[in-house]
């Protein structure tokens, strides 16, 4: 098992048995939901590339929205981001996030 970008609370990347687990990725608090979604996905892309993977190897994603009213805006970014590859299994729900101005958080599990 390998853990990267760790602190006392969490690791950004955990690799175990050729499976990559990413912690939740968020955008900047001044961004709207579409921009936050794109920032989350760009962070996911960068972390996966760091360990030799890519978005085509994402197995599962969980998306947390502050409000389900943002579902369509988030999906518009999500759908474009996955336009060149089949999307992963996904769950999406509404949740109170770690900061009141965060609108979306994305976590993924991917293959190496």
Q: What is the pLDDT of residues 45-69, one digit of tens each?
A: 999 999 999 999 999 999 999 999 9
Rounded to 5 degrees, φ, ψ at 35 are -65, -40
Distance separating alpha carbons of residues 18 and 111, to the nearest angstrom: 6
The model's pTM is 0.95
**What is the DSSP secondary-structure string of 24-89?**
-EE--TTS-HHHHHHHHHHHHHHHHHHTT--GGGEEEEEEEES-GGGHHHHHHHHHHHTTTS---E
pLDDT for the residue 51: 98
One digit per residue, pLDDT tens: the chain, 112 residues? 999 999 999 999 999 999 999 999 999 999 999 999 999 999 999 999 999 999 999 999 999 999 999 999 999 999 999 998 999 999 999 999 999 999 999 999 999 9
């Amino acid at each position: 098992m390998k853990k990267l970008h760790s602190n006392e609370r969490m690791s950004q990347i955990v690799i175990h048995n050729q499976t990559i687990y990413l912690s939740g990725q968020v955008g900047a608090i001044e961004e709207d939901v579409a921009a936050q979604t794109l920032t989350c996905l760009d962070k996911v892309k960068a972390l996966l590339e760091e360990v030799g993977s890519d978005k085509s190897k994402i197995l599962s994603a969980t998306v947390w929205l502050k409000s389900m009213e943002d579902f369509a805006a988030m999906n518009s970014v999500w759908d474009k981001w996955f336009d060149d590859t089949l999307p992963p299994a996904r769950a999406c729900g509404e949740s109170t996030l770690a900061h009141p101005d965060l609108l979306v958080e994305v976590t993924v599990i991917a293959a190496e």
